[in-house]
Chains A and B, each alone.
Chain A
Amino acid sequence: MQLRRVVITGLGAITPLGNDVATLISGIESGKSAVEHIPEWENYIGMRCTVAAPAHIENEKLIPRQNRRSMGRLSIFAVQAAEQAIKDAGIKSGSLTGGKLGCVMGSTMGSAESIAEAFEIMGTGKDLSKLSATKFFQCVSHTAAMNVAQYLGITGYVLATSAACASALQAIGTGFDLIRLGKQDIMLCGGAEGLHPTVVGSFDVLYATSSNYNKEPKKTPRPFDSKRDGLVCGEGSGVLVLEDYEMARNRGAKIYAEIIGYNSCGNGSHVSESNHEAIVFCIQEALKSAGITFKDIDYINAHATATIQGDKEEANAIRHIFGDSVPVSSLKGYIGHTLGASGAIELIASLIMMQKGKIYPTLNLEDPDKECSGIQHVMKPVNKKINILLKNCFAFGGINAVLICKSTRP
């Protein structure tokens, strides 16, 4: 069976740096950090981290109430990013309902804010009759996928990937597979996440968050840096339109890149400690699926969240395969770790880098840690033609995902 070629024809993003792709990119280009101190979190006893990269909900009332009522914070981000992506791709509304256009949207979980509100009402001895009928739809794990599909009238596949920080990249990888197998023609793929103290607290108890820069929020997170001390949570959504290449070409669509390789794997060893062997395996399988070698990669957009252990393992894996031959940068210093959205938002920024022939540096990387050395860190903007890029995402639960995109420009 001949596998179909899959291209990316639309991008949409709601991010801590702004609510569209252009604002995200201009923020990154100007070296801006969206991280800020969140004073309210000081009221949570035991919370070490009081910094985050919040996004800002705008124009949500443009979503009709009967659609919006089932949306928590992350789903509002998701549908707004999806609308942008559809518009960017020039998809006509008629194609949304033909059964051959689907969506895969990932998130770590349902809307954390809505889940917290629901449990405030549902505790033992409390009054269940106060619970809204629509709260359930905000809390479920497939809330982003469900809401995007309902809002846009999508009648093709509707799937939700839930693999924490690898959710969005798994969504894109799944969409890629569905199109190349001929099951769908167009897929809206991405991820979304909503910032909430319960989410940050979950990382905080594991000592995975940054806590030394609460008074200097712009200095954290610090991916690969010797003074890194953990991740900073962000939020938002990124959505990409994936499309059968022939269809995109026939309708004269603008093509950002072709997806040529993808792999996802478990590390089979530990729920919270990533290990470089599994990352190496994942990257090598992705390269194999693309039919290329490490020498063909021009840029690596790292997962690098600025945790002590995670960055070390990722650098170790990259060094093992690529040595210092390929520029590597992480975007977490600008927008924090947008968790279930990160794979999509960061891939979108990487595709713009490909388009512009410019690599954005790792913000806050001043002194690369010895344990993260031996790879080509990008510490200032670099002009370089990117023909093929590789995007990493690694998740709690020991889940890895790697996606490879190739420019379709000559």
Chain B
Amino acid sequence: MTEQDAIRMTNEVFIDSFEIPKDKLAPQANIFNDLGLDSLDIVDLVVALQKKFGIMIRSDERVRNIRTLGDIYQFILVIKKELEK
């Protein structure tokens, strides 16, 4: 998976599941303060990312460190790399 794929597919999740306008989806956007997600949304974000990327991250402690959209892009790439090993 390329970085561009991770960005595009993650952005699709934010557009489809959270109805965030495309122009707000910048890597530095804080998913809570800038994009308006809350604790319930984080559960649904995990569900949506798992489905989109075919991964299991529900019990992954690293999810707790995610703050920005860029953090998600990088996290997805790391997970995908781990799966390739």
A residues within 8 Å of B by Cβ?
A: 65-66, 69, 129-134
Contact = CB atoms under 8 A, between A and B. Distances in A.
B47 A131 contact: yes
A129 B47 contact: yes
Given A129-B56, A129-B58, A66 B36 contact: yes
Contacts of A130: 47, 50-51
Nearest to B51: A130
17 contacts: A65-B18, A66-B36, A66-B41, A69-B40, A69-B44, A129-B47, A129-B50, A129-B56, A129-B58, A130-B47, A130-B51, A131-B47, A132-B44, A133-B43, A133-B44, A133-B47, A134-B44
Given A129-B50, A133-B44, 19 more contacts: A65-B18, A65-B19, A66-B36, A66-B38, A66-B41, A69-B40, A69-B41, A129-B47, A129-B58, A130-B47, A130-B50, A130-B51, A132-B43, A132-B44, A132-B47, A133-B40, A133-B41, A133-B43, A133-B47
A387 to B, nearest CB: 50
Interface extent on B, as a size class?
10 to 19
Contacts of B36: 66
Contacts of B41: 66, 69, 133
A183 to B, nearest CB: 31
Contacts of A69: 40-41, 44
Contacts of A129: 46-47, 50, 56, 58
Tell me if B's interface is mostly helix, strand, loop or mixed: helix
A127 to B, nearest CB: 9
B51 to A, nearest CB: 7
Contacts of A66: 36, 38, 41
Contacts of B19: 65
Contacts of B58: 129
B19 to A, nearest CB: 5
B31 to A, nearest CB: 14
Nearest to A130: B47
Interface string B45-58: 01100110000101
A134 B37 CA distance: 13
Contacts of B47: 129-133
A134 B40 contact: yes
Contacts of A133: 40-41, 43-44, 47
A65 B40 CA distance: 12
A65 B18 CA distance: 7
A132 B40 CA distance: 9
A132 B18 CA distance: 13
* Interchain residue pairs A-B with the least CB separation, the first 5: A133-B43, A133-B40, A129-B58, A65-B19, A133-B44
Nearest to B37: A66
Name the residue in B40, B46, B58 with the highest tally of chain A Cβ atoms < 10 Å from its Cβ. Answer: B40
Nearest to B46: A129
A65 B36 CA distance: 10
Nearest to A137: B40
Name the residue in B46, B47, B58 with the highest tally of chain A Cβ atoms < 10 Å from its Cβ. Answer: B47
A130 B43 CA distance: 10
